[in-house]
């Protein structure tokens, strides 16, 4: 055919400028788009060949080839797919948003086709991403099933040409004449990096060849080069598309390592398909160990989003709630509506449904692990329990299910042992109505805390909240199995039956009257440090302790916030004294300076017992030394 020169229409030229300069956030996306188009072309050829065997008379080995020529500064992406004739060439590449894939799908729908091949191209603008890195693009194509070789060429100056081509077999090759500053895409390592990132699971082998070969190349180097040219850059193994019964455990483990670069096998593998209004497939992994970035801000989530085997992104936060950010894996959907650059999701409702399904599936998997393999679940919770707890505060829809997965150490339990909330409730003694807990920075400190003495004496266990996240999320717990959570170091807490509580209350009132003078003296001396002094219902063996008002911030949380450079309220607390303790009885009989020094030491001892620093360490040391000398 004679060379034909065509002009882009004014609105088309404006749209092309938008595609090249604004549509994509990363220039490297061009390679993903060209490989996707090549994959689509092969898919179309294979699909049409089901009813027209003449299309595959040459018995092709389907493949996508990338060829770099450093001397000419060109990069070519070629396929042996369906190809194009003159009319398709002008329509598909001369008119934006008129892709062959879109037209092909529309044709099949009009014919009532029920089984559509999974083609990713929808908008007809991906090809033009090539102009982000090239100042000229040449397309050579030949229609499969019979047709002349054609060449399309444009430098974006306002038009394009179509002429006879030199291609001698069906398919399409796109040659990019790279800009001076885009030579990185001629290097094998860079191309391989992008193929693995965006097109690793394309179903056809993607190979790379560099035409720039040293003249003095040795035979050994030539042999290695030719072997590497035959080796696909992509794995082509989209395991999530295969039935679980057809995949060996070792294959899942290798895929997990390839996906995450973890050197260990996953703790658990979860496969499932979403059907109904939204169809998708997911392959999820629970790692064995937590990594540092788990608690670092602005880190990407663990799931990678694919649309028909083509990578879209791994920072799609909408696919996974924050408290499941440790989950790794893949979600692939044929139904996801993407914008033309495939970098933003258009329909939040569909994404919300996928997110909900993924969340519920992981919850079900954890519930099954908890029920069937206690040892494995303990390993999981040791690694990720602190993150799972966040879900109680942020995921109200699933908060009750998340609570049932939580484990805590207790005052009666052995060091390192945790129990479920349901087990705590089951072991509650008759008469205990609430779930008791105490904050501490270390388990051992909590077990020795004076505030839990009466609870232990009455047979009540106490949950130990010692993860930093516990202190932020305690208010979100509220209740479990109809039982309220009560901080044992806050407010007024009494134990035992109603009769026991009544008798204890009367005894405390009598003791308070007897010690009124002593209590008033302590209040006056410590008025800048405490809000009140009273006889305790918590203490058994210790002489005194500090407790907070019901809605005050725990001291451990205050210390943590200040260590992080944040402001924290300086709230006065209540000093409780054990009226029956020998030391309190002895100190209450003192007067003058002797009483003042003893009260100061009692207050400092209460601070030390809970892990808080004393205000004047030098004075405490001197008073202690004087006491020891006496």
- Where residue 333 falls among pLDDT bands split at 50, 70, 90? confident
Tell me the C-alpha distance between 331 and 351, whole Å. 11
pLDDT at residue 156, rounded to an integer: 77
Percent of the chain with pLDDT over 70: 86
More confident call, 107 vs 259: 259
- Where residue 347 falls among pLDDT bands split at 50, 70, 90? low
More confident call, 17 vs 473: 473
Tell me the C-alpha distance between 3 and 153, whole Å. 11
Tell me the C-alpha distance between 330 and 409, whole Å. 35
Helix (H, G, I), strand (E, B) or coil at 140: strand
- Where residue 609 falls among pLDDT bands split at 50, 70, 90? confident
Structure tokens given for 215: 């003249």
pLDDT at residue 122, rounded to an integer: 47
pLDDT at residue 105, rounded to an integer: 58
**pLDDT over 70 (residue 21):** no
Tell me the C-alpha distance between 447 and 409, whole Å. 10
**pLDDT over 90 (residue 478):** no
Residues 286/350, Cβ–Cβ less than 8 Å: no
In this structure, of 367-371, 437-441, 496-500, the range with the lowest mean pLDDT score is 496-500
- CATH node for 239-379: 3.30.230.80
Structure tokens given for 164: 């006879």
pLDDT at residue 297, rounded to an integer: 57
Per-residue pLDDT tens for 92-149?
776 655 555 556 556 555 655 545 555 445 445 678 889 889 999 999 999 998 889 9
Over residues 267-293, mean pLDDT: 87
pLDDT at residue 123, rounded to an integer: 43
Tell me the C-alpha distance between 612 and 558, whole Å. 10
Tell me the C-alpha distance between 349 and 354, whole Å. 9
Over residues 507-513, mean pLDDT: 90
Per-residue pLDDT tens for 568-577?
667 789 999 9
pLDDT at residue 345, rounded to an integer: 59
Fold match flag (239-379 vs 406-487):
no
pLDDT at residue 91, rounded to an integer: 80
Apex 555 CA angle, 581 and 562, nearest 5: 150
Percent of the chain with pLDDT over 90: 46
Phi, psi of 486 (to 5 degrees): -130, 125
Strands (E) located in 112-265: 134-142, 149-154, 159-164, 171-178, 206-210
Residues 180/165, Cβ–Cβ less than 8 Å: no
In this structure, of 10-14, 62-66, 338-342, 352-356, the range with the lowest mean pLDDT score is 338-342
How many other C-beta atoms lie within 10 A of the C-beta of residue 399? Answer: 16
pLDDT at residue 340, rounded to an integer: 45
β pairing state of 328-333 and 303-307: parallel
How many other C-beta atoms lie within 10 A of the C-beta of residue 297? Answer: 5
Tell me the C-alpha distance between 208 and 192, whole Å. 8
pLDDT at residue 120, rounded to an integer: 46
Check residue 330 and give left, alpha or beta (phi > 0: left; psi -120 to 50: alpha): beta
Topology, domain 4-230: Heat Shock Protein 90 (3.30.565)
Q: 3-state DSSP: the chain helix, strand, coil percent, rounded to 5? A: 45, 20, 35
Tell me the C-alpha distance between 552 and 573, whole Å. 9
Strands (E) located in 1-80: 4-7, 64-69, 74-79
pLDDT at residue 314, rounded to an integer: 72
Topology, domain 406-487: Rossmann fold (3.40.50)
Most confident region among 62-71, 238-247, 344-353 by mean pLDDT = 62-71
Per-residue pLDDT tens for 71-108?
999 999 999 999 999 888 888 776 655 555 556 556 55
Per-residue pLDDT tens for 193-220?
999 988 888 889 999 999 988 777 788 8
Over residues 250-270, mean pLDDT: 89
Tell me the C-alpha distance between 181 and 73, whole Å. 11
> What's the CATH number of domain 498-629, 1.10.760.10, 1.20.120.790, 1.10.240.10, 3.90.1150.10?
1.20.120.790
Helix (H, G, I), strand (E, B) or coil at 567: coil
How many other C-beta atoms lie within 10 A of the C-beta of residue 285? Answer: 26
Per-residue pLDDT tens for 519-535?
999 999 999 999 999 99
Half-sphere exposure of 466 (CA within 13 A, CB side): 21
How many other C-beta atoms lie within 10 A of the C-beta of residue 167? Answer: 19
- Mean pLDDT for the chain? 85
pLDDT at residue 361, rounded to an integer: 95
Per-residue pLDDT tens for 480-506?
999 999 999 988 888 877 788 888 888
Structural domain spans, the chain: 4-230, 239-379, 406-487, 498-629
Residues 495/458, Cβ–Cβ less than 8 Å: yes
**pLDDT over 90 (residue 442):** no
pLDDT at residue 1, rounded to an integer: 67
Tell me the C-alpha distance between 266 and 312, whole Å. 24
Tell me the C-alpha distance between 43 and 38, whole Å. 9
């Amino acid at each position: 055919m004679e060379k034909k020169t065509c002009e882009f229409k004014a609105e088309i030229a404006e749209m092309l400028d938008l595609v090249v300069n604004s549509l994509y956030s990363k220039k490297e996306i061009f390679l993903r788009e060209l490989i996707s188009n090549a994959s689509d072309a092969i898919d179309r050829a294979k699909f049409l060949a089901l009813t027209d065997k003449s299309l595959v008379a040459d018995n092709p080995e389907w493949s996508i080839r990338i060829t770099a020529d450093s001397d000419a500064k060109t990069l070519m992406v070629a396929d042996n797919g369906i190809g194009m004739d003159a009319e398709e060439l002008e329509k598909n590449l001369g008119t934006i948003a008129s892709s062959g894939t879109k037209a092909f799908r529309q044709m099949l729908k009009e014919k009532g086709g029920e089984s559509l091949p999974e083609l990713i191209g929808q908008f007809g603008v991906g090809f033009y991403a090539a102009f982000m890195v090239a100042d000229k693009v040449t397309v050579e194509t030949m229609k499969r099933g019979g047709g002349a070789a054609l060449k399309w060429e444009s430098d974006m100056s306002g038009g394009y040409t179509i002429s006879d081509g030199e291609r001698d077999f069906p398919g399409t090759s796109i040659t990019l004449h790279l800009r001076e500053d885009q030579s990185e895409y001629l290097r094998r390592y860079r191309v391989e990096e992008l193929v693995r990132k965006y097109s690793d699971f394309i179903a056809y082998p993607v190979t790379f060849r560099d035409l720039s070969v040293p003249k003095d190349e040795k035979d050994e180097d030539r042999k290695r080069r030719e072997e590497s040219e035959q080796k696909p850059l992509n794995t082509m193994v989209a395991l999530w598309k295969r039935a679980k019964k057809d995949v060996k455990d070792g294959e899942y483990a290798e895929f997990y390592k390839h996906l995450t670069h973890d050197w260990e096998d996953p703790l658990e593998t979860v496969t499932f398909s979403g059907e109904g209004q939204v169809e998708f497939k997911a392959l999820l992994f629970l790692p064995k160990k937590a990594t540092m970035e788990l608690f670092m801000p602005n880190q990407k989530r663990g799931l990678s989003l694919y649309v028909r085997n083509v990578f879209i992104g791994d920072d799609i936060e909408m696919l996974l709630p924050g408290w499941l950010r440790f989950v790794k894996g893949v979600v692939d959907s044929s139904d996801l509506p993407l914008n033309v650059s495939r970098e933003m999701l258009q329909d939040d409702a569909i994404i919300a449904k996928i997110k909900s399904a993924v969340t519920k599936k992981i919850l079900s998997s954890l519930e099954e692990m908890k029920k069937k393999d206690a040892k494995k679940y303990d390993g999981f919770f040791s690694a990720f329990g602190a993150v799972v707890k966040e879900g109680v505060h942020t995921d109200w829809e699933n908060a009750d299910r998340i609570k049932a997965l939580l484990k805590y150490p207790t005052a009666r339990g052995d060091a390192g042992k945790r129990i479920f909330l349901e087990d705590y409730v089951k072991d509650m003694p008759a008469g205990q109505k609430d779930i008791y807990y105490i904050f501490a920075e270390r388990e051992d400190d909590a077990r020795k805390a004076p505030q839990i003495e009466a609870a232990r004496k009455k047979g009540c266990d106490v949950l130990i909240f010692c993860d930093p996240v516990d202190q932020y999320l305690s208010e979100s717990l509220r209740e479990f199995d109809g039982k309220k959570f009560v901080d044992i170091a806050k407010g007024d807490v009494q134990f035992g039956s109603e009769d026991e509580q009544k008798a204890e209350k009367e005894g405390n009132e009598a003791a308070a009257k007897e010690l009124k003078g002593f209590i008033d003296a302590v209040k006056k001396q410590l008025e800048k440090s405490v809000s009140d002094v009273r006889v305790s219902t918590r203490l058994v063996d210790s002489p005194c302790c500090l407790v907070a008002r019901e809605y005050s911030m725990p001291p451990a949380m205050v210390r943590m916030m200040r260590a992080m450079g944040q402001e924290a309220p300086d709230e006065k607390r209540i000093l409780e004294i054990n009226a029956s303790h020998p030391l309190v009885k002895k100190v209450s009989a003192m007067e003058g300076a002797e009483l003042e020094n003893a009260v100061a030491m009692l207050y400092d001892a209460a601070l030390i017992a809970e892990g808080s620093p004393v205000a004047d360490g030098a004075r405490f040391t001197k008073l202690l030394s004087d006491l020891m000398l006496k």
